[in-house]
Chain A
Amino acid sequence: MNTELNRESLLKAYRMMRTIREFEERVHTDFATGEIPGFVHLYAGEEASATGVCMHLSGNDYIASTHRGHGHCIAKGVDPAGMMAEIWGKETGTCKGKGGSMHIADLSKGMLGANGIVGGGGPLICGTALAAKLRGDKTVGVCFFGDGASNQGTILEAMNLATVWNLPAIFVAENNGYAETTSPNYSVACENIADRAAAFGMPGVIVDGFDFFAVYEAAGEAVKRAREGGGPTLIEVKVSRYYGHFEGDQQKYRAEGEVQKLRNEKDCLMQFRRHVTADGDISAAELDAIDAEVLAMIDDSVVRAKADPKPGPEELLTDVYVSY
């Protein structure tokens, strides 16, 4: 396994995380103006998870995501401009404005969809992994799900099936500490979600979700194992989210100053920057340049999303069936 990331990979990882962060911060700001319709769930704070995992994936690998799916989409290569337009409900959106934030998908990129149903992705990823196994193409499927979904029957059934069929599947439990308002200390009956892996005969490991390198290493081993026919793995990523369950959530269930403390002390981008610049291989100026490029790209995507047309009325009735 390539645990030593080269310069190019490090810069790619940084750009990916920065893009997710900038995208989410921007949606947060714009949502507050009341212009963005619907429910939006932001991934800010969790960037190292999607990035650490998806850096090991190619376009032919599949991922299934959650209602908090923007980060997974970006990390899997979905065009941020298309996503922005989708969130704004425009015809230029990834799903022509028909899906919205909770249902962004791009199958051409192996992104099987954000999902409005908690735990919806587990069985689906068993399916993509089954197809990969039957074809023998060495691709894998990754199911991202949250601590809330870890209690859904669908996820538990999917982990069982993945072992029974020895599928090239990786289950990534992003434990951000809150299922809506409810803590896993209350809702998850064991100490760690990873503990459940043993019951399904697969390895279960825990990594620090603020540390890109920790996620990257664990995911690398799991993906390698899956590609080689070694079967499924459960990775529990311990992390937190910077915003509410949805935009508009007052978050009274959180501790005073909790998010600020995380931003100051644990932030994945901050840690990553400190790490890669310490030896001078990558300069702060290079990272600043990426920040500026990403910012410009996101700015541009918002400008375009705002200006783009909404779907025409004829779109209401199309795309229900292939033929009918």
Chain B
Amino acid sequence: MARKITYQQAINEALDQEMSRDPSVIVMGEDNAGGEGSPGEMDAWGGVLGVTKGLYHKHPGRVLDTPISESAFIGAAIGAACNGLRPVAELMFVDFMGVCFDQIFNQAAKFRYMFGGKAETPVVIRTMYGAGFRAAAQHSQCLYSLFTHVPGLKVVVPSNPYDAKGLLIESIRDNDPVIFFENKVLYTMEGEVPEEIYTVPFGEAAILREGDDVTIVALGRMVNMAQEAAEALQKDGIHCEIIDPRTTSPLDEETILESVEKTGRLVVVDEANPRCSMASDIAGLVVRKAFGALKAPIEQVTAPHVPPPFSDVLEDLYVPNAAKIERAVTRVAEYR
């Protein structure tokens, strides 16, 4: 049996191995080492949740702590990518995109197109997302659909340690700007991860469970909840097929459409708010391209159209869970 490590360790290992392999890979972000200029230890944190811990001493001069100036350092990572480096910049919480979005969507995303195909911007922006930490409205959002909307960006949403490592290595080697979404609740999730370097290609969804009755497309942390629901539904005789797109841009439309052609029923599970979301995007895709196959209205299981609340009871209600998925699947399965 292969070695098991956590999602967080998988990300750290991917960074470590790529930094060892390729001297042009650098890591930067707020407190990615921690302690710069302070009287105590360096590498005091290794990132706010310790994801980059240890890289500072292992790769001298290539892990840069930054001032709290997202516009400046995310922009600098993009500029460095234009000039031969492969920076992996950390936008601590994706909610902070608000203070640096111009650099991402007006600069990085558009260089290649605006400059007539002459620019390459191989930058990776790693960022934490998702509710579950009682971190409230400004530290808990799921904003991958905003980035998916922007042409020129690639958007990666790994749901398990294996994919996290393989997709991050792929992101670093990719020559376009990649926004890499890490769900903070998944950091402690364990899974089998090979020690050697491997990549997981973009735009290839994973079929995590095969079934003929209902297709569930789920993203990130929701994949696990969908599996939990599918397990329970199996006992009621409802056989679900679970698809994890793994990247929202590019999106593996084919795998989703093929599955719906087979099942005729679709539930999309997305932790984000429902409007203009991956859920509505995938539902729209299926309506446009597999309308004839549909035997039931499509169900979306998402957070409600509200910001993430603080109080634990409200946050638990906010995030989709297995029970909500089960109910949605049952409704779709029973629709006649």
Contacts and interface: CB of A to CB of B under 8 A. Distances in A.
Asked whether the complex places CB atoms of A and B closer than 8 A, the reply is yes
Nearest to B34: A181
A270 to B, nearest CB: 23
B313 A187 contact: no
A153 B96 contact: no
Interface residues of A, number: 54
A311 B48 CA distance: 30
A185 interface: yes
Nearest to B46: A181
B138 A310 contact: no
Among B95, B99, B136, find the residue whose CB has the most chain A CB atoms closer than 10 A.
Answer: B136
Given A100-B310, A181-B44, A119 B68 contact: yes
A60 interface: no
A98 B68 CA distance: 26
Contacts of B40: 251-256
Nearest to B45: A181
B31 A316 contact: no
Contacts of B41: 252-253
B37 interface: yes
Among B34, B72, B133, B309, find the residue whose CB has the most chain A CB atoms closer than 10 A.
Answer: B309
Given A152-B99, A186-B36, A255-B39, A180 B138 contact: no
Nearest to B43: A252
Contact of B36 (A89, A183, A251): A183
A191 to B, nearest CB: 13
B38 A181 contact: yes
A188 interface: yes
Interface string A143-178: 000001101111000000000000000000000011
Interface string A29-60: 00000000111000000000000000000000
Nearest to A186: B37
B314 A315 contact: yes
Among A95, A100, A320, find the residue whose CB has the most chain B CB atoms closer than 10 A.
Answer: A100
A144 B234 CA distance: 56
B99 A179 contact: no
A226 interface: no
A90 interface: yes
Contact of A117 (B48, B96, B309, B317): B96
Given A38-B135, A116-B138, A255-B40, A316 B45 contact: no
Interface string B25-56: 00000110011111111101100100000000
A117 B313 contact: no
Contacts of A118: 68, 96, 99
A120 to B, nearest CB: 8
A280 interface: no
B280 interface: no
A153 B72 contact: yes
A162 B81 CA distance: 36
A279 interface: no
A152 B139 contact: no
Contact of A116 (B45, B67, B139): B139
Nearest to A147: B68
B135 A252 contact: no
B211 interface: no
A37 B96 contact: no
A182 B35 contact: yes
A185 B65 CA distance: 13
Contacts of A152: 68-71, 99
Nearest to A148: B68
A117 B99 contact: yes
A162 to B, nearest CB: 19
Nearest to B96: A117
A99 B65 contact: no
A184 interface: yes
Contacts of B36: 181-183, 186-187
A99 B140 CA distance: 12
Contacts of B276: none
Interface in A87-119: 89-91, 93, 95, 97-103, 115-119
Given A89-B311, A98-B309, A151 B67 contact: yes
B134 A182 contact: no
B263 to A, nearest CB: 31
A98 B314 CA distance: 8
A37 B132 CA distance: 10
B305 A100 contact: no
A286 B123 CA distance: 62
B312 interface: yes
Contact of B311 (A90, A117, A148, A253): A90
A136 interface: no
Interface in B276-314: 304-307, 309-314
A126 B113 CA distance: 37
A116 B38 contact: no
Contact of B95 (A95, A117, A256): A117
Given A98-B136, A253-B41, A254-B38, 16 more contacts: A38-B134, A89-B310, A89-B312, A98-B137, A98-B311, A101-B136, A103-B310, A117-B98, A119-B99, A151-B68, A178-B38, A182-B65, A183-B36, A185-B37, A188-B67, A320-B307
12 contacts: A86-B310, A89-B310, A89-B312, A97-B310, A97-B314, A100-B310, A183-B37, A185-B37, A252-B41, A254-B38, A310-B311, A316-B317
Interface of A: 37-39, 86, 89-91, 93, 95, 97-103, 115-119, 148-149, 151-154, 177-188, 250-256, 258, 310-311, 313, 315-317, 320
Those 10 A-B pairs whose CB atoms lie nearest each other, nearest first: A186-B37, A116-B138, A100-B310, A183-B37, A253-B35, A97-B311, A38-B134, A89-B311, A255-B39, A37-B134
